[in-house]
Structure 1
């Protein structure tokens, strides 16, 4: 197997799906659905049952600011309430050519996470939509609901193949235009885009979506084992570069990568979203069962 070969194995085995049956997707923001779901989700302003507080984010409804806390702490907090509510879950997974790399393979890892989230959403009878993107929305499932749609969802994810360049701005713009229902928006991507991430994420951060970004890189990108005079080719647009790779250059690369990831995290969290960095070296079940729960996406 090469670094650009996706393993031919099952996305989710029955034993792991049984463990996923114990989980549900969670949201910290206002999510007003049109249909009733099977469980309680956080929604502000309609129920009298107080649930929690969170920091105010620009664009939130000022009616739900707790002015008593503001008077004491000089900080803005919003009150959250519980109500029986339907939940829309959107999972955007990167299928651009840059994901066709790594050991463990980056695209396969992203597809497994997407499949797990889709499964959890469906078995809890939430409204689930999976969207594959590269330089736009390559394909999507449409809205699905219920356990009987699991096989269809898994077949959709299994057939996805990395191709084409990444254009996050165009992908997020098209997604936001096509999906106006409020909900949780999970983006699974390496977020490598020559156009940057800001123009794309502004369509899904700090507004009607509860954004959860999982930046996924492989070990070879985090700790590159390269040296000497090499000719490198961009996987997405075939640009070539001749470089002499030295230890100082590798050190600078790591510093630049770290700064890029920290900038992405800061951009997302400042707009009320949640950011999680992972390597494909992290066991898939650990990411889903531990890290996604710790960050509040699953409960």
Structure 2
């Protein structure tokens, strides 16, 4: 039985999806694998060169039927193109408990961002796989590459929940072992792991993936508005700390956050990892359609 797509995905608005269909993800370093008849950047250029015809077979993509020949011969022929390189796109989404914080929650923002990037990949027939992770737990969406199965991506993302502490190093090592085929890896996380981020990013680079690190931050994490006597509870460990937050301590905190972000950004830059930090109050559409286009991640 043919698979059908629900009329309206729950994560992204239809108008946003229509805009995404005009774009594609861009690899600056690599492409590998072969596919016929779709958009790919070739090793010796970016054009798509016609190669031959063959008889149309039921199930072929009707976009590549040569209607001029049909008009002359009353037969359906499919245009073939030179073999071009297809792209593997891997989305890694942090689902640890710390991602549940924020308004909107970092987790909800991350799911929508993953939905948008995944939709971009499938629109262009890239090979897409998604991994959701926290300590000791991973949930996989096995590779898909057909746009009419995009509902699987949306259903999968909608079904996810936050649970457990963060374990970036082991999660990324497990991913690197599972997916050896080179591709674009987009790591979406708040990077709140007490063990650090270095080993996690090294694991992704060990497979020679092209890595994009997208750092999600709750506005209150960047610039807290609350003050006075507070009880702070670690969302992942449950540890409680009582503090009195005054203006001076708030400034100290903000400087430490800025230093951490700067350190992560410098680490990524020094190793060829593309880094982006965004607050969850920044519109997803603006992030993808404007900012990611300006930095060359999509076009």
TM-score for the superposition, normalised by structure 1:
0.81
- Answer whether contact 1:204 1:211 (CA < 8 A) is retained: yes
* CA–CA distance in structure 1, aligned partners of residues 166 and 37 of structure 2: 34
- Answer whether contact 2:94 2:134 (CA < 8 A) is retained: yes
* CA displacement 1:102-142 (0-9 Å, x = unmatched): 11221111100000111110111110001101114520101
Which has more radius of gyration? 2
Partner of 1:143: 143
Partner of 1:233: 233
- Answer whether contact 1:205 1:268 (CA < 8 A) is retained: no
Aligned-pair distance for 1:246? 1.4
- Answer whether contact 2:187 2:214 (CA < 8 A) is retained: yes
Partner of 1:284: 284
Worse-matched range after superposition: 169-178 or 29-38: 29-38
Partner of 1:16: 16
Which structure 1 residue ranges, 4+ long, deviate > 6 Å from structure 2? none
* Partner secondary structure for residue 84 of structure 1: coil
Aligned-pair distance for 1:206? 6.8
Q: What does residue range 228-267 of structure 1 map to in structure 2 within 5 Å?
A: 228-267=228-267
Q: What does residue range 184-223 of structure 1 map to in structure 2 within 5 Å?
A: 184-205=184-205, 207-223=207-223
Structure 2 portions without partners, runs of 5+: 1-8, 48-82
* Partner secondary structure for residue 203 of structure 2: coil
TM-score for the superposition, normalised by structure 2:
0.81
Structure 1 portions without partners, runs of 5+: 1-8, 52-82
Aligned-pair distance for 1:28? 0.8
* CA–CA distance in structure 2, aligned partners of residues 27 and 137 of structure 1: 29
* CA–CA distance in structure 1, aligned partners of residues 21 and 214 of structure 2: 22
* CA–CA distance in structure 2, aligned partners of residues 109 and 50 of structure 1: 33
- Answer whether contact 1:136 1:174 (CA < 8 A) is retained: no
- Answer whether contact 2:34 2:84 (CA < 8 A) is retained: no
Aligned-pair distance for 1:40? 2.4
Say if 1:37 and 1:280 are closer, same or farther in 2 by CA, change over 3 A.
farther
- Answer whether contact 1:206 1:271 (CA < 8 A) is retained: no
Aligned-pair distance for 1:33? 2.1
* CA displacement 1:3-37 (0-9 Å, x = unmatched): xxxxxx93112221111100111111123225457
* Partner secondary structure for residue 138 of structure 2: strand
**Pairs aligned (count):** 256
* Partner secondary structure for residue 180 of structure 1: coil
* CA–CA distance in structure 1, aligned partners of residues 212 and 110 of structure 2: 14
Partner of 1:90: 90
RMSD between aligned residues: 1.9
* CA displacement 1:238-268 (0-9 Å, x = unmatched): 1111212111111111101011011111111
Partner of 1:68: none
